[in-house]
Chains A and B, each alone.
Chain A
Amino acid sequence: MGDCHYLYGNYMTIKRITFLQELLTFLGLEGRIHLAWISSAEAQKFVQVVTDFTEKVRALGPNPLPTFSHNKKAALSSVLGRGMGKTPGSSPPEPALQEVYP
């Protein structure tokens, strides 16, 4: 802390990231944002953090947001889901969900 090239940069960063983590948890997107202090000399740590976080995100699965923004019905059907809001024949085919992770 305080070693930032931009003087107070990382103080502001941690304030904002901590806040954002809380806010996203409130909305139901917990654990998809992570902050770690890694200096340019700590290559090992960088690899470790990225590997760990990738593992974690993979465990969480694909980002659920595209299902909402591309398809209004998904927002309605997601919670109690089970294909509500579908009127056979009249509705256009639903767009395919974006694959975020292969």
Chain B
Amino acid sequence: MECKLVPSICSYCGTGCGLLFEVIDDQIVNTLPMKTHPVNEGKLCIKGWNLHEHVNSFLRLKQPLIKTFGRFIKADWNEAIGLAADRFRNIIDQYGPDSVGVLVSAKITNEENYLAQKFARAVIGTNNVDHCARL
């Protein structure tokens, strides 16, 4: 039996409330607000309180799906990334880099969000980056 309380920052919005994940046997089971965190002082909103729920959700995608003839077909990563890259190339060549926008998510980590904006600016060449929880 192992129980860890892992301090983290809420990823839902730009406020940055401190919270603790209750990890029992490598499963996140609960979220608690961090009492001593200067931002939220032991309080959370309903989204923060339920932050642990999407981690182990059965609704999560575990492999890429490619939409072919209106239906999502399971595919492997190389195929999916290859297809996405080809289509991006075509679109950028035809309409310019500003025809692409990158919308990132609150449910991925800070580092992944950073990578996504780097991808938009350095690889695609556009400033069209936004985040669903931009306050």
A–B direct contact (CB < 8 Å)? no
